[in-house]
Structure 1
Amino acid sequence: MHLIVGLGNIGSKYDGTRHNIGFEVIDTITRNKDITVKKKEQNGFTGVYREFGQKIMLAKPTTFMNNSGLCVAGLVNFYEVPLENLLIIYDDIDLEPGDVRIRQRGSGGTHNGMRSIIQSLGSQEFSRIRIGIGRPKECSDLVNFVLGRFAKSDGPLMETAIIEAAKGVDIFVKDGVDLAMNRINVRKKVEKQIFLENKEVKKLEN
């Protein structure tokens, strides 16, 4: 079984915030696969579908971001999910808005949800999809920034990023993390450059 976890905070007041981009990717996948993520288990909501000859579980932790590891470790241990079949989707302030990067392993950086997962699993050896949200102008305003909403100008980039991340999940499940990195990391960089160039052209035309 593959376990795909999107990180975020439960509650309507957090809908659409930068910190909930992982939840938005899961929501996009559920619409694409016509399933629901509503089963309550292991401190989260889950839903299952089958594709590419695989059983895939989608999950949203209900612990709030800083304790995401309780849900992830609970599901990994209960269903005996190999860490190579685990994929975490989350926001990353170290990437520009709209950037999408897949990594095979690594530290949690400044992300408290990822730190919690690594601590709970006792390992960094699992894949992740990082979605760039950029950094606040004032470093001291980090909490308000990640719990804030995207600027309208970032909307198209973020919508594209969510779609790309969902594609990355399909490639990860079907073909593995190496091919997912090769396809998504390179393609997203090219697509963003084209988007920015077109945006600049429109400014000049106006």
Structure 2
Amino acid sequence: MEKSFLIVGLGNPGKEYANTRHNIGFMILEQLAKHFRFEWRENKKFSTHLAKGDQDEKNILLTKPQSYMNLSGKTVAKLAGYHKIHSERIMVVVDDLDLPLGSIRMRPNGGNGGHRGLKSIIEDLGTNSFPRLRVGIGRPDLKQKVSGFVLSKFKQDEIDQVEKMIMIASKQLICWINQNIQTAMNNYNGDYSPKNKEETDDEIRRNDHP
């Protein structure tokens, strides 16, 4: 029987939020859709953008909820219910202030960590037992408010790092689909910031075929 996987990228809709730190989940799913050659389509029934298809007897759904962050749970719960997807096969890709830029951490479950999108999904699914991929966006300096920081675009000198992080996160998600969460965590969880460049390049080469 074909297994279904739902991968949720969290972000805010609208051109003004494109490529902001809070929308790293959208950016990673866009890369994943390119890898699978899935096309994005608007789905008004579920208030989302969907890209889907079959890969190796697996049905994969990528979704970017088009409600604001704190209402993401409604879309996720409706999609999961409609497609009968168990919570262990729902992956949420989310930005994380507590991780430095360049770090990624996949986990099988957990709390909301103060993130409104995760909070909404936990409430609407009625469980926190779903995997999530936390993607580090760093923290603002003392002069900048958190609210302004998460809605800011990445700096020019961060772009290369962000692109590398998106690529690695995509590979980790593919590994999760094709193998399992433990393998994906063991192979890819880590700090891929410039200070760890040599280790980062080694990891990419070693895990180049998830």
TM-score (normalizing by structure 1): 0.89
Aligned counterpart, 1:6: 9
**Structure 2 unaligned regions, length at least 5:** 201-210
Unaligned runs of 5+ in 1: 199-206
Percent of paired sites with the same residue: 33
CA distance in 2, matches of 1:121, 1:183: 29
Q: Counterpart of 1:141?
A: 145
AA matched with 1:115: K
| Among 148, 152, 162, the residue aligned to 2:156 | 152
SS in 2 for 1:35: coil
Measure the CA separation in 2 of the matches of 1:167 and 1:194: 19
Residue 147 of structure 2 aligns to a residue whose secondary structure is: helix
Asked if structure 1 preserves the Cα contact closer than 8 Å seen for 2:96 and 2:137, the reply is yes
Matching of residues 1-206 of structure 1 within 5 Å: 1-40=4-43, 41-138=45-142, 141-185=145-189, 188-189=190-191, 193-195=195-197
Deviations 1:124-156, CA, capped at 9 Å, x for gaps: 100111110011123871111100011222212
> Aligned equivalents of 2:89 and 2:109: distance in 1?
12
Partner AA of 1:53 in structure 2: E
Which ranges of 4 or more aligned residues in structure 1 deviate by more than 6 Å?
A: none
| Whole-angstrom CA distance in 1 between matches of 2:82 and 2:191 | 37
Query: What is the RMSD computed on CA atoms of the aligned residues?
Result: 1.9
- Cα deviation for residue 39 of structure 1 reads 3.8
Shift of 1:77: 1.1
| Count of matched residue pairs | 196
TM-score by length of 2: 0.87
**Separation of aligned partners in 2, 1:197 and 1:43:** 41
Higher helix share: 1
Is the Cα–Cα contact under 8 Å of residues 103 and 192 in structure 2 kept in the other structure? no
